[in-house]
Amino acid sequence: MAQHISRRELKKDEVRETFAHGAEAVLSHQQLTLYLLIAAVVVAAGIFGWREYAERQTVKAFAAFDDAMKVFQAPVGAPPAPGEVAYPDASKKFAEAQQKFSDVASKYPRTRAGELARYYAGLSFEKLDKNAEAKESLQKSANSGGDEEVAAMARFELAGLEDRTGQGDEAEKLYQQLIAKPTVLVPKPMVMLALAEHDFAKKPAEATKLYEQIKADYPDTPIAEAADQALALLPGKS
């Protein structure tokens, strides 16, 4: 004869099953919480480790950059002060500086010291009259997408180099970009003055407008005084 399950037993089974599912859910939740906690610890450790690594790299990068700057700024010909270095000629000095800066830029590209080093490598190439190499280095610095101040300095230097090597149109484009988006280290009046100097010989009317605008927008400043002096030298102004 088939056994019949009483309502009470049925109820017990339901309660037991509900309890089992509930316990399973709690355990699963605890497991998930544990996994999340472990993941958080791993991520935190990774962030801390990366930060510590980045800080060490930054310290090393700036130490190497400082070493390169000592060469770049070293005297030529004069006997060095105690603990300083002097070079017999500028070519040797800037060749060594360029190599050191290039090494820093290559080894620490994601640090500010590395970005500055790439810019100064460009300046060193300029000092050596290696204009093609200087342009390449300055263009990389200008388009690195890193520190905006360093990029602006590179664009400003590149504009001057383009001007000196007969690429006037390229120089003007760079000056206009910098005027539209100035920075603390490359302020608008300084770029306007450089653009006016660029226009001085071939477009004196444009140069005059820029000089007058500098005087009007930045009165009683050294740059306004420089604009006034340049105005006096323009054709028809003397």
3-state DSSP assignment of residue 237: coil
CA-closest candidate to residue 159, choices 182, 142, 183: 142
Residue 188 three-state SS? helix
pLDDT digits (tens, 9 = 90+) for 9-48: 444 454 445 444 444 444 455 555 544 555 555 555 555 5
Judged against a pLDDT cut of 90, whether residue 3 lies above it is answered with: no
* Global pTM exceeds 0.85: no
CATH classification of 39-74+85-186, choosing from 3.40.50.1820, 3.40.50.2300, 1.25.40.10, 3.20.20.140?
Answer: 1.25.40.10
Which residues make Cβ contacts (< 8 Å) with residue 4, sequence separation at least 6? none
Strand partners, 87: 76
Residue 188 clears pLDDT 90, i.e. is over it: yes
CA–CA distance, 230 with 81 (Å, rounded to integer): 39
Taking a C-beta distance cutoff of 8 angstroms, is the pair 68, 97 a contact? yes
Rounded Cα gap, residues 156 and 185, in angstroms:
10
Domain spans of the chain?
A: 39-74+85-186, 188-238
Closest residue by Cα to residue 121 from 139, 104, 101: 101
Q: What is the dihedral of CA 154, 158, 159, 163, to 10 degrees?
A: 160
Position 37 scores a pLDDT of 56
Per-residue pLDDT reduced to its tens digit, 100-158: 999 999 999 888 899 999 999 999 999 999 999 999 999 999 998 788 999 999 999 99
Distance CA 119, CA 115 (A): 7
Q: Give strand pairing partners of 76.
A: 87
**Per-residue pLDDT at 44:** 55
pLDDT tier, 2 (very low <50, low <70, confident <90, very high otherwise): very low
Is 103 buried (19+), middle (13-18) or exposed (0-12) by CB count in 10 A?
middle
**What contacts 206, CB < 8 A, 6 or more positions away?**
196, 199
Let me know how long the chain is: 238
- Phi first, then psi, for residue 76 (nearest 5°) are -115, 125
**What is the Cα–Cα distance from 126 to 135, expressed in whole angstroms?**
9
